[in-house]
Amino acid sequence: MNRTGYSKTAVKILEASLPLFAARGYNGVAMRDIAQTVGITAAALYNHFSGKETLYFKALEYAFADKVDTLSESLRAEDHPEERLRQLITFWIEIFGGDVILRSLLQRELSDADEQRLRLLLDRVFLPVYEGSTDTLVLLSRGGTDMVLLFFTILGVVLSHFQLAPIRRRLPGALPEHEDVERIATHLTTLLYHGLSPVVAAH
């Protein structure tokens, strides 16, 4: 067993299933497809995961668990609310900008709107991040901002940057450095923490 608690074969299954689910959607993937990709029989696959739903749930947990733990540690290490905001923004940038599979998976689930799987995403991905960043959101809210709206505003502005990237790249004045994690994180942190006027003044 490795540090995740899964055997090597189980890890191969989890890592092989995510791209398939992202490319075809939950309903477009059969257990035999995953078994074939891994190079094992369907019977062997069922020895590790009792069904597609269980495998899908575990794959999402596997994909996000370490990332959420890392975020919680980085937020605790920072005292200034602006730097905490930057850490939270950088986390979402790395999720949506650096991991096309996870971004595609999220977009598919939002489009499919399956209640059970959306609940899974909430419970296994977004709720742990929300709860792990509660202290940061309290600092950022300054006593008056709705924390739920603040959390999803941060999430939304980061996600839209990548969802609309094909349009952004074609705008006059678009630059290669607009793809840079640090550049995006600095821009969004300044915008969200200080408001629009300092951003305009700085440019």
pLDDT mean over 36-42: 92
Using the predicted structure, report yes or no on whether residue 171 has a pLDDT greater than 90. yes
Using the predicted structure, report yes or no on whether residue 142 has a pLDDT greater than 80. no
- pLDDT band with cut points at 50, 70 and 90 for residue 203: very low
Return all residues near 202 (Cβ < 8 A) that are at least 6 apart: 190
**pLDDT value at position 143?**
67
Average pLDDT score over the chain: 83
**pLDDT value at position 4?**
59
The residue with greater pLDDT, 80 or 171, is 171
**Is residue 38 one of the residues assigned to a domain?**
no
- pLDDT band with cut points at 50, 70 and 90 for residue 198: low
**pLDDT value at position 40?**
93
pLDDT tens digits, one per residue of 43-88: 999 999 999 989 988 888 887 766 776 777 777 776 788 888 898 8
Using the predicted structure, report yes or no on whether residue 34 has a pLDDT greater than 90. yes
State how many domains the chain has.
1
Domain that holds residue 106: 60-202
**Is residue 108 one of the residues assigned to a domain?**
yes
8 Å CB contact between 56 and 105: no
Using the predicted structure, report yes or no on whether residue 18 has a pLDDT greater than 60. yes
- pLDDT band with cut points at 50, 70 and 90 for residue 167: very high
Q: Which two tokens stand for residue 99?
A: 């991991």
**Is residue 42 one of the residues assigned to a domain?**
no
pLDDT mean over 24-39: 91
**Is residue 45 one of the residues assigned to a domain?**
no
**Is residue 26 one of the residues assigned to a domain?**
no
**Is residue 68 one of the residues assigned to a domain?**
yes
**pLDDT value at position 170?**
93
